[in-house]
Amino acid sequence: MTGSENEKTPQKFSQKDYHHPAAAWGAAFSVGRVLVEQGAIVDGVRAIFKMNHENSGFDCPGCAWPDDRKGLRMDICENGIKHVTWEMTKKRTDREFFSRHTVTELLGWSDFELENQGRLTEPMVYNATTDHYEPIAWSAAFELIGRHLRSLSSPNRASFYTSGRLSNEATFLYQLFAREYGTNNLPDCSNMCHEASGRALAASIGTGKGTVDLVDWQTADAIFVMGVNAATNTPRMLSALADGVKEHNLKIVHINPLIEVAATTAITPHEILDMVTFRATPTSSLNLQPRIGGDMAIMRGIAKYLFEKFETDKSSLNMDFIEKYTSGFEEYRAACDATSWEEIERQSALSADQIKAAGEIYRQAPAAIISWCLGVSQQEYGVDTIREIVNVLLLRGNIGRPGAGPCPIRGHSNVQGNRTCGIHHAPPESWLSKMDAACGIKSPRQHGLDTVRTIEAMHSGEVEVFFGMGGNFASATPDRDRTFEALRNCKLTVHVSTKLNRSHVVHGKEALILPCLGRTEIDQQAAGPQAVSVEDSMSMVHLSVGMNEPASPHLLSELAIIAGMARSTLPQSPTPWEQYTGNYDLVRDKMAEALSGFENFNERVRKPLGFRLSQAARELDFETPSKRANFSTATLPDTLPPPGKLIMSTMRSHDQFNTTVYSDNDRYRGVKGLRTLLLMNEADMKERGLEQFDLIDITSFAKDGSTRSVKDFRAVKYNIPRGCASGYMPELNVLCPIGDFSAQSDQPMMKQVLIEVIGHK
Ligand code: SF4
């Protein structure tokens, strides 16, 4: 890949550090611009007052931040409006569009240009002779899928991928179909993002989820925010932070190689008085800028500091909690003693004093939350790092009480619900047997393939049919060229989508695009307009009800598409697919039988804000083999790059949601008109003879010795620690080696890639 593809002539891009509060007027003007650009002023304003409203509104298709408890009229953010207006656009990608453009031509378009064509309007099938997508009837599309799936020598030669937007009800039917068909090949975006969080939390406290909720965020005395670009990827967090500072002097520590705007000040737009008086609230008490991979060292340092303070102040550790609820304390103490401050400083690139300052903020806080996102989980030692976070929480009993606990931040609106409702390639026996008993099927017990292994299986021909439920697999995954080859190696690729994207133009021998209803659209079924549910980062399950007429009369709901495929593939299936499609309450009744925690689902989900899934760990009942919360004692790994090399992390810009790119700008990082860039430390640039915006070639080095390169990117001087660099996904996913996945989480290491940078004129 070369940078010149979507690069404007040099003077047309720029970078100037951003010194304004997060959100504030910048966000307000941006929302105005987006509404105008998408021609959705009226619908957009209607959406602003409907979005994220308990039981009468639709759930934002963006991140998974929970809905406000204070009855906020405008419970939205700038990026939420971008996501929604992008879906509500008046633009259409219809049969005329496809008749004008060959797939080969579309392959040369940028991700922005593809999606900016607007909403898909009817099912399309790829015609290899004409190299065009052409209309196909739904019945014929289902027949084509059914024929392929029935023709496979084994159900495990098919794969059913999910992106984190799929509702709980559609998720449940999707996994039910895959398992009735005979496979656990259910990879999902979580395999690339949150596997580390689930595995670490399960090992430490017996649950795969965080234990706090929004009320805890509003009552905590200290909140640590690790590896999160909150103002872009979960913007409503800013309200919780700013309100906490204003209402009860909340202490906030941001830990991130980049000082993102949420780690400065913010004005939350619904605070009209603050807006008109430009009164910004500081949303950080302390910023720590470790090198990439230095998070575990910081947590180990904070623990070490607590042990040292305990010698003189016994309140530094909650020994009552430790003795009553934990195991492994002495072993962990020994591990901390064995870790020197020199090694902690080396691995974190911070001074002991900086870490002790964070430790003191933590020690002084009666109740504290530690939150994290991909900046931590997409690391090689993500599981050990998250277990170290839990260690620190256990030392002061910060779990299972108000204002305290671990909180992984989910970047996709229902990624947590997907896992809860069955999207898991390696489901526990207890989950399968309960689901089988409720649904009258016999699920396969052989574990399926996760995302990385699905790519390899498609590449080797072991998997011949790929079904993508939402998302943009071709762009979201690592090792772009290998993924492209893998998808092209399939007999059939099918994508259920709302808009055209790269996965449609990187396709199998046969290919289908199946357009579905959006989250904002009315889902009319036999029993009337239907609601679906989602589960947010804090285990709250609530309803989402569309409000707009569908973008086309030919769209089907995700549930109807799954049912159509299922009936075509399994004509004798005893599962009442058609009834389920006609009335989603029937699906929820079945989920109430099949899933723990969903009892009386239909009744409870209709309560204002829905209900919180119960969680044993939140009640200090740890479902671990020891029946206690377990300290972990992992050795601090050496994550420093060899001389001359850098560690690169991929990231999203502010004008982007996952692989959906809204523009080439990144307001909060001061970037205009450029995506083919690499943020670098000034001294690292000097060392390589680089000036601002010099052209560079970037090469990555995989553990198996293979290399991957991109050319003609631009070096951009930025406040980032020595030895570290950052650039945008999906453009830099091509550098992420498929084989370099974490042995702890099986996640591809999208934020820990060994690279070399060479400049050229
Ligand atoms: S914070 Fe997340 S869920 Fe909320 S409106 Fe913004 S993008 Fe949507």
Tokens 């200090």 — which residue?
620
Q: Is the CB of 235 under 6 A from ligand 1?
A: yes
E strand segments, 485-563: 492-497, 510-515, 524-525, 528-529, 532-535, 540-544
Domain 646-759 carries which CATH code?
2.40.40.20
What does the alpha-carbon distance between residue 230 and residue 627 come to, in Å, rounded to a whole number?
Answer: 34
Q: Is the CB of 234 under 6 A from ligand 1?
A: yes
The DSSP output letter for 3 is: G
Q: Which residues pair with 597 in a beta bridge?
A: none
Q: Is the CB of 86 under 6 A from ligand 1?
A: no
pLDDT digits (tens, 9 = 90+) for 141-164: 999 999 999 999 999 999 999 999
pLDDT digits (tens, 9 = 90+) for 291-333: 999 999 999 999 999 999 999 999 999 999 999 999 999 999 9
Mutate to test the pocket of ligand 1, among 50, 73, 76, 228 (most ligand atoms within 8 A of CB): 76
Q: Is the CB of 35 under 6 A from ligand 1?
A: no
Residue 213: helix, strand or coil by DSSP?
A: coil
Sign of CA dihedral 711, 717, 720, 724: positive
Mutate to test the pocket of ligand 1, among 50, 51, 65, 72 (most ligand atoms within 8 A of CB): 65
Q: Which residues make up the CATH 3.40.228.10 domain(s) of the chain?
A: 195-408
Q: Which atom of ligand 1 is nearest to the CA of 237?
A: 1
Peptide bond preceding 257: is omega within 30 degrees of 0, i.e. cis? no
Q: Is the CB of 77 under 6 A from ligand 1?
A: yes
pLDDT at 4: 45
- Ligand 1 centroid, distance to 81 Cα (angstroms): 8
Confirm if 381 and 293 have CB atoms less than 8 A apart. yes
Gyration radius of the chain's alpha carbons:
25
pLDDT digits (tens, 9 = 90+) for 404-423: 999 999 999 999 999 999 99
Q: Is the CB of 80 under 6 A from ligand 1?
A: yes
Confirm if 58 and 64 have CB atoms less than 8 A apart. no
Within 13 Å and on the Cβ side, how many CA atoms surround 333?
14
Q: Which residues pair with 370 in a beta bridge?
A: 224, 406
> What integer is the mean pLDDT of 588-614?
96
Residue 72: helix, strand or coil by DSSP?
A: coil
- Ligand 1 centroid, distance to 275 Cα (angstroms): 20
* Beta strand 492-497 pairing with 510-515: parallel
pLDDT at 191: 97
Q: Is the CB of 76 under 6 A from ligand 1?
A: yes
Within 13 Å and on the Cβ side, how many CA atoms surround 547?
21
Q: Is the CB of 546 under 6 A from ligand 1?
A: no
Helix (H) or strand (E) holding 307: helix 295-310
* Beta strand 677-680 pairing with 724-728: antiparallel
What does the alpha-carbon distance between residue 539 and residue 208 come to, in Å, rounded to a whole number?
Answer: 11
Confirm if 38 and 89 have CB atoms less than 8 A apart. yes
Which of 388, 385, 371, 369 minimizes the C-alpha distance to 328? 388
pLDDT at 43: 86
Which of 542, 525, 512 minimizes the C-alpha distance to 577? 525
Q: How far apart are the first and last CA of the chain?
A: 18
Residue 107: helix, strand or coil by DSSP?
A: helix
The DSSP output letter for 669 is: G
Which of 369, 332, 42 minimizes the C-alpha distance to 216? 369
What does the alpha-carbon distance between residue 23 and residue 35 come to, in Å, rounded to a whole number?
Answer: 17
Confirm if 273 and 240 have CB atoms less than 8 A apart. no
Given a cut of 60, whether residue 5 has pLDDT beyond it is no
Q: What Å distances lie between residue 731 and 329, 458, 509, 664, CA to CA?
A: 44, 22, 25, 12
For ligand 1, atom 3, name the residue with the nearest CA.
63
> What integer is the mean pLDDT of 651-673?
96
Confirm if 297 and 634 have CB atoms less than 8 A apart. no
pLDDT digits (tens, 9 = 90+) for 347-403: 999 999 999 999 999 999 999 999 999 999 999 999 999 999 999 999 999 999 999
Q: Classify residue 498 as exposed, middle or buried by CB count within 10 Å of its CB (0-12, 13-18, 19+).
A: buried
Q: How many residues does the structure list for the chain? A: 761
Tokens 């502010």 — which residue?
654
- The residue type at 392: V
The domain 117-191+427-612 having CATH identifier 3.40.50.740: the answer here is: yes
Q: Is the CB of 236 under 6 A from ligand 1?
A: yes
Residue 625: helix, strand or coil by DSSP?
A: coil
pTM: 0.96
pLDDT digits (tens, 9 = 90+) for 507-551: 999 999 999 999 999 999 999 999 999 999 999 999 999 999 999
Mutate to test the pocket of ligand 1, among 48, 63, 416 (most ligand atoms within 8 A of CB): 63
The DSSP output letter for 20 is: S
Tokens 């009164």 — which residue?
279
Question: How many Cβ atoms sit within 10 Å of the Cβ of residue 679?
Answer: 24
Given a cut of 90, whether residue 49 has pLDDT beyond it is no
Confirm if 13 and 258 have CB atoms less than 8 A apart. no
pLDDT at 10: 54
Which tokens hold the place of 438? 């409720």
* Beta strand 707-717 pairing with 677-680: parallel
Residue 740: helix, strand or coil by DSSP?
A: coil
pLDDT digits (tens, 9 = 90+) for 224-256: 999 999 999 999 999 999 999 999 999 999 999
Confirm if 726 and 497 have CB atoms less than 8 A apart. no
What does the alpha-carbon distance between residue 109 and residue 115 come to, in Å, rounded to a whole number?
Answer: 10
For ligand 1, atom 2, name the residue with the nearest CA.
63
Q: Is the CB of 175 under 6 A from ligand 1?
A: no
- 184: CB partners within 8 A, 6+ apart: 178, 424, 425, 426, 427, 443, 444, 446, 447, 448
- 357: CB partners within 8 A, 6+ apart: 286
Q: Could you tell me if residue 190 is left (phi over 0), alpha (psi between -120 and 50 degrees) or otherwise beta? A: alpha
Q: Is the CB of 65 under 6 A from ligand 1?
A: yes
Q: Which residues make up the CATH 2.40.40.20 domain(s) of the chain?
A: 646-759
pLDDT at 560: 98
Q: Which residues make up the CATH 3.40.50.740 domain(s) of the chain?
A: 117-191+427-612
User: Which homologous superfamily is 195-408 in?
Assistant: Dimethylsulfoxide Reductase, domain 2 (3.40.228.10)
Calculate ∠ Cα 713-233-518, nearest 5°: 105
